[in-house]
Amino acid sequence: MTRRLLRLAVTAALFVVPVSAFAQTGTVVDWGPDCYAYESNYNPATYISAAGSSLNIVGVVNGFLGPLGSIDPNGGTEYTLYMTGMTSAGTVITPGVFANTYRTVYNGGSFQIWEDTPRDAAFGTNPPNATVPSSFTDGSLFLSGFYTSLTVTFSKQNSNQQILGGNADTGEPSVANGVFTGGSALPLVSIGGRGCPFRITGGWLAKPGNFPTGYTAHFDGKIDINCPTETTPSTWGKIKSQYRD
């Protein structure tokens, strides 16, 4: 009898463990052609961000997926992105034969997505300006969160001096690296009343001619969620009872 119960308990534990693994992953927010970065001390001729430079990003969301998938960002209501509070640690160049690689870690940061009608976001030029970030931070707060850093990496091909598209990433999602913290959609990306971990990542384009005057890069990115399935405290007795006839 004891052996049978032990077997049942072990079986039950095997069923419980996989359920507590990360269960909700993938993209929940996406943006594409309408998203640009600007910073306070960036040299567009050398592609170098000076240590201490402040990075900001404004954009227009073009897709909601997963738990946010029922919301249409391309209708009459506009959803705009504002990422701010990122401080450059300075660009580090890794020289190579094919290309030199430029990497900048921006420490700190938070994002906000604002819900607004009518659609009025305008990038203008030389931000901050009369419409940036103001036309991206009007309306009501839809979703917000913080992260610890954003790492931007891209290369310059040596044969033709062309800037190649790169990558931006806040890193592995974890409670320490960043979680959703606010906005009307927070319950949709929370578990047990706490915001889920996320990562912001995507393509980064510092190639001149691909962003308005005064901006420093184009960011085609998204927010990925990594949310554990909710668990409920229980007892071995309750688990065993589920396997009794």
Partner 1 sequence: MRMRNYFVLMAIVAAVSLPAKVHADQFLADFRGFDYEDPNNTPGFGNVGDGYNSLGFVTQVNPALLTCNFGANEYTYQFKDLSAVSTETNAPFLFVLYSNGRFRIFEDAIGGGTAADYGTNPPNAVAPSTFADGTIILGGVVSNFVLTIDLTNNNGSFNGDIAFDEGTQQGSIPAAQLNGWTFAGLTSGGGTGTPAGYVHQVDGEIRVPDVTPTAPTSWGKVKNLYRH
127-to-39, 67, 140, 152 alpha-carbon distances in Å: 9, 33, 22, 20
- For residues 177 and 161, is the Cβ–Cβ distance under 8 A? no
Among 22, 140, 229, 231, interactor with partner 1 by CB under 8 A: 22
**Residue 27 binding partner 1, by CB under 8 A:** yes
**Residue 83 binding partner 1, by CB under 8 A:** no
Span from 114-122, 129-137, 138-146, 204-212 in contact with partner 1 (CB under 8 A): 204-212
**Residue 225 binding partner 1, by CB under 8 A:** yes
**Residue 199 binding partner 1, by CB under 8 A:** yes
**Residue 127 binding partner 1, by CB under 8 A:** no
**Residue 226 binding partner 1, by CB under 8 A:** yes
**Residue 39 binding partner 1, by CB under 8 A:** no
**Residue 172 binding partner 1, by CB under 8 A:** yes
Number of C-beta neighbours around residue 175 at 10 A: 10
**Residue 78 binding partner 1, by CB under 8 A:** no
Position 241, amino acid: S
Instruction: Please state the closest distance from residue 69 (CB atom) to partner 1, in A.
Output: 13
Return the residue matching tokens 């009794």.
Answer: 244
* Beta strands per DSSP E along the chain: 22-39, 42-43, 48-49, 54-64, 78-94, 99-107, 110-116, 140-147, 149-157, 166-169, 178-182, 190-191, 194-195, 198-205, 217-228
**Residue 138 binding partner 1, by CB under 8 A:** no
**Residue 32 binding partner 1, by CB under 8 A:** yes
Tokens of 131: 């419409």
**Residue 169 binding partner 1, by CB under 8 A:** yes
**Residue 97 binding partner 1, by CB under 8 A:** yes
- The alpha carbon of 89 is separated from its chain's Cα centroid by a whole number of angstroms, namely 20
**Residue 173 binding partner 1, by CB under 8 A:** yes
Among 62, 84, 134, 190, interactor with partner 1 by CB under 8 A: 62
Position 207, amino acid: K
Rg (CA), the chain: 22
Nearest to 154 by CA among 142, 165, 141: 165
Q: Which residues bind partner 1 (CB under 8 A)?
A: 22, 25-27, 30, 32-33, 62-63, 94-99, 101, 153-155, 157, 164-169, 171-174, 197-199, 201-205, 207-210, 220-222, 224-226
